[in-house]
Structure 1
Amino acid sequence: MEQYEYATGPGEGAGGVTGGRGAGAGQLTAAVRADVHLALAERLATAEAEAAHELFTAAFGLYGARHLGGTAGAEAAQLSWWHGPTVRVPQPRRAGRGARRAERDVVPAAELLPAGSRRGRHRKPEQAPGSTPHATAVERRTAARLLAAHPLVTAAGPHGAGFRLIRRHADWLAERFLTVLGYPLTIGDSYARLHKAGLPGRGLAGFGPAGYAELVRALGALAEGRPAEITDEAVRRLLAHWRVLTQHGADHELARALGPLAAPAAGTPALAVRRRLAESPVVLLDELSGPERAWLAGREAAEAALFADFLGLEAEIRAEGIALLDPADELTDLAGGDGGTLTQAALLLVERLVEELRPLPEESAPPAVLIPDALIDGALGDVTDEHGAQWSRGYLADLAGFRRDALELLRRMELIAPAGRAWVLRAPAARYAAPLEVQPGPGPGRHSRRELNAAG
């Protein structure tokens, strides 16, 4: 809560920004003051790297939802992930598919035709967008998914067609996001801005304390209508990507809309749990507070239905917790940027770790187990021996960097988690392994360290 209040000023929560067509812009503009930007920039500049990530996220909430793909069978609330249905390692997906595919596939075709384009004389007239209850529901879900993946959507940006859907269903979207997640929605003539709450681990890639500080100072200057002094090209590129900087100058209204005003902290267990479900790959029960677990108990099916209707997500309910999955593999920022090598290697690695460390059915099923450090090296050596001929040469030339990046991807997928200087393997990782087969004896690869299991 301290970070949120520092970013917005005490008592200046975002609850007054109720969304709707153009709603909230006045309150938002009034709340964004030069001293807030300058004070926040100063604190970011002097923060440690991890603290800077968390502070920026707490102030701006500009991150996308992060969900796993694929389904592993029907709900089985009493079944452990360690022993339940699995999805095998998927083929790497093409980079950039993301939420753009949902926009391309679902936006009514009538909107995508150039003005005045001819139609075949035998073609039946198309129905107006949203003219049936089903079409309306599809449009609303598409718009909500776009905002969940991209909390800033601009008319001139890559999701311009989706922005039209957001404008069309502005009131419904504002009400649903505020009711379900406590997220205010601000919509202007050329932008839509969803105000998410702070969440650890969701900073901007490639940014550190100095970059964050320059970004906030630049936004502050542009919000006041002044030129911004920008020396960091990453800051300039990001502001151009956000359409704050354009070929014709700067969009000062959008700069004000992007001020440090994230959603307020969750005031109820319901909001806290729903935010984690909506934004995170996995929610483990043992990581929830007592009131949060009590609220969720018995509500798993109802919450699954709510998010299926709202965001098109499918629930995987297990004894250890819940994962809301996106079978379309769109509501995620987890794709590797190397064309698939990193993603494939990480999932093969986690498959080997599960095979070595998964508890047997007659044993207790903890939410996570400690990973011996040598086992990581052995398993990664095995999968590199077997699959490395098809992978990027750059990674194979730097095995230490390969190891670091693979573990970081698995951490972002929440399949592993840091435990001091070690790692733990979380139960949901087993969904990417082969079905359990009890085969005593040494592991299959020459680098494996199966004898370390007991010592771990």
Structure 2
Amino acid sequence: MTGVLADVLDAQRDEERRRAVRALLHRPLLTPSDPAYGLVRKHAGYLAEWFAREAGWSLHTDPGVARLRKVPGDLSDGSRAARVPGGGARARQPFSRRRYVLACLALAALERAEAQVTLGWLVDRVVAYAADEEIAGAGISFAMEDRDERGDLVAVAQLLLSLGVLQKVAGDEQAFVNRSGDALYDVDRRVLAVLLSTRRGPSLVPAADLQARLTAVTEDVVADTEDGRNRQLRHALARRLLDDPVVYYADLTEPQRTYLDMQRGPLLKRLTEATGFLAEVRAEGIALVDATREATDFGMPEEGTEGHATLLLAEYLSDQLRAGTGPVSVAAAEQRMREMIVEHRAHWRKNTRDPGAERVLTAHALGRLAALGLVRVRGESGENGEKVVPLPALARFGYLRPTIRGKKDTR
């Protein structure tokens, strides 16, 4: 019986660790209010060692916060922008360049703030910082002169609330937008201190080019030895397998592909055992599938008008992929969406019949499909227009017509 009990306890421990890994992959910053925070604290030693060994990511834990300092495997992927969970329709929009700038200015203001701040106080500081010549020279202006600007700053405040940097004491953000009130927050300095996740401080990087700056602030120090280079390759592949929906062989460098060809079995075994993911290995690439959906940012299919429209557009693009017709213009995708609005008007929201609704639905669907690694949108608006490139994993959302091989006699 002792051996059986030990096996049960070991299995329970391993499952707790998998849940903690999945929680950190989904939410790299956890506070005590998160249901998974206790598990992460309980297994902090194992988690810190595993993430450091497999992905080169460090884990910070203390009585007030747990922070996995994730470094993306693909710095050029802009398909998964910050969003406000549970906010209004405008707040849920992907963060724009201006919102990111406002978020950085708000964090700079909070570094010098008292234990409590109001939204109005935060606005005043952000407006003052935004007047800096370098920010203005970069094309960012912010003076709180219209409702859109107030809405952007409210979205930033709501993001900081969701992260735990701010904790609401009283008031309402919408009242501030309507100029009828204010909101009062506590500032959590533990969370604020660990929010920045870089190898080097951005202010220490002289490069002006965005890609060069991203590379500089996330660059790992690697020993110039064979072991050091192999470790760097292993970390780069693990980061993409853990963080990206699909890893296509065509997107890997030659050294990464060579390393993966030799070490695919052991690498996938370690990652799947620690996460509970299922490895799907195909001719075009690899995906680690989360059957629990605990580590999934975007699900598909989803309920609602947008979810149904995204699934139907995926089916249309999958048919084009199977037919080998090449990239599909965004205009063609919008035309197909227009046809689907007519076809499903009895089931979709009434505002989908408004002029231009097909463009909104198509943009949402393509954004979701791009974030899931199912399509890529290339080109710019203009004479040639943007093109949608269906990727191999999209084929699973296509359906073949049934083939009836015999006719049953019903007489």
TM tier, smaller: 0.5 to 0.7
2:284 to 320, 326, 329: 320
Match of 1:419 in 2: 378
In 2, distance between residues paired with 1:381 and 1:399? 5
1:141-182 Cα deviation digits (max 9, x unpaired):
101110100011100x3x2x3111111000000011111111
Q: Quote how far apart the aligned CAs of 1:437 are.
A: 7.7
1:145 to 18, 22, 40: 22
Q: Could you tell me whether the CA contact under 8 Å between 1:314 and 1:325 is conserved in 2?
A: yes
Q: Quote how far apart the aligned CAs of 1:130 are.
A: 11
Do residues 249 (structure 1) and 186 (structure 2) align? yes
- RMSD, matched Cα: 3.1
Q: Could you tell me whether the CA contact under 8 Å between 1:223 and 1:253 is conserved in 2?
A: no
In 2, distance between residues paired with 1:234 and 1:130? 48
Do residues 172 (structure 1) and 131 (structure 2) align? no
Match of 2:9 in 1: 132
In 1, distance between residues paired with 2:111 and 2:317? 50
Q: Could you tell me whether the CA contact under 8 Å between 1:282 and 1:321 is conserved in 2?
A: yes
In 2, distance between residues paired with 1:431 and 1:337? 12
In 1, distance between residues paired with 2:330 and 2:108? 45
Deviating more after overlay: 395-404 vs 338-347 = 338-347
Q: Could you tell me whether the CA contact under 8 Å between 2:337 and 2:358 is conserved in 1?
A: no
Q: 1:203 to 1:374 in 2, by over 3 A?
A: closer
Q: Could you tell me whether the CA contact under 8 Å between 1:354 and 1:433 is conserved in 2?
A: yes
1:287-331 Cα deviation digits (max 9, x unpaired):
111111111114333333222212111111111111111122332
Match of 1:273 in 2: 237
Match of 1:393 in 2: 350
Match of 1:428 in 2: 393
Do residues 203 (structure 1) and 91 (structure 2) align? no
2:102 to 214, 220, 244: 214
Match of 1:239 in 2: 160
In 2, distance between residues paired with 1:378 and 1:415? 20
In 1, distance between residues paired with 2:301 and 2:278? 26
In 2, distance between residues paired with 1:404 and 1:413? 14
Q: Quote how far apart the aligned CAs of 1:260 are.
A: 4.7
Structure 2 stretches lacking a partner, 5+ long: 84-93, 124-152, 170-184, 200-216, 223-231, 380-385, 404-411
Q: 1:382 to 1:213 in 2, by over 3 A?
A: closer
Q: Quote how far apart the aligned CAs of 1:385 are.
A: 4.0
TM-score between the two structures when normalised by the length of structure 1: 0.60
In 1, distance between residues paired with 2:328 and 2:263? 33
Do residues 344 (structure 1) and 303 (structure 2) align? no
1:393-423 Cα deviation digits (max 9, x unpaired):
2334312211221111111112110222211
Output the amino acid matched with 2:188.
D
Q: Could you tell me whether the CA contact under 8 Å between 1:373 and 1:422 is conserved in 2?
A: yes
Match of 2:60 in 1: 186
Output the amino acid matched with 1:281.
P
In 2, distance between residues paired with 1:281 and 1:260? 22
Deviating more after overlay: 290-299 vs 265-274 = 265-274
1:2-30 Cα deviation digits (max 9, x unpaired):
xxxxxxxxxxxxxxxxxxxxxxxxxxxxx
Q: Quote how far apart the aligned CAs of 1:372 are.
A: 4.3
Q: Could you tell me whether the CA contact under 8 Å between 1:224 and 1:252 is conserved in 2?
A: no
In 1, distance between residues paired with 2:288 and 2:21? 15
In 2, distance between residues paired with 1:387 and 1:406? 16
Q: 1:178 to 1:396 in 2, by over 3 A?
A: farther
In 1, distance between residues paired with 2:155 and 2:22? 27
Q: Could you tell me whether the CA contact under 8 Å between 1:181 and 1:274 is conserved in 2?
A: yes
Structure 1 stretches lacking a partner, 5+ long: 1-127, 361-367, 439-456
Deviating more after overlay: 244-253 vs 304-313 = 244-253
Q: Could you tell me whether the CA contact under 8 Å between 1:336 and 1:342 is conserved in 2?
A: no
In 2, distance between residues paired with 1:393 and 1:129? 59
Q: 1:320 to 1:249 in 2, by over 3 A?
A: same
Match of 1:105 in 2: none
Identity of aligned residues (%): 29
Deviating more after overlay: 312-321 vs 243-252 = 243-252
1:230 to 122, 131, 154: 122
Output the amino acid matched with 2:390.
L
In 2, distance between residues paired with 1:141 and 1:130? 17
More helix by share: 2
In 2, distance between residues paired with 1:264 and 1:214? 22
Deviating more after overlay: 316-325 vs 387-396 = 387-396
1:407 to 366, 382, 405: 366
Q: Could you tell me whether the CA contact under 8 Å between 2:55 and 2:239 is conserved in 1?
A: yes
TM-score between the two structures when normalised by the length of structure 2: 0.66
In 1, distance between residues paired with 2:23 and 2:247? 22
Please give the residue correspondences for 1:366-385 in structure 2 after superposition, counting only pairs within 5 Å: 369-373=326-330, 375-385=332-342
Say which SS state the counterpart of residue 14 (structure 2) adopts.
helix
In 2, distance between residues paired with 1:129 and 1:344? 47
In 2, distance between residues paired with 1:417 and 1:278? 20
Q: 1:185 to 1:390 in 2, by over 3 A?
A: same
Output the amino acid matched with 1:292.
Q
Q: 1:140 to 1:419 in 2, by over 3 A?
A: same
Say which SS state the counterpart of residue 324 (structure 1) adopts.
strand
In 2, distance between residues paired with 1:323 and 1:141? 18
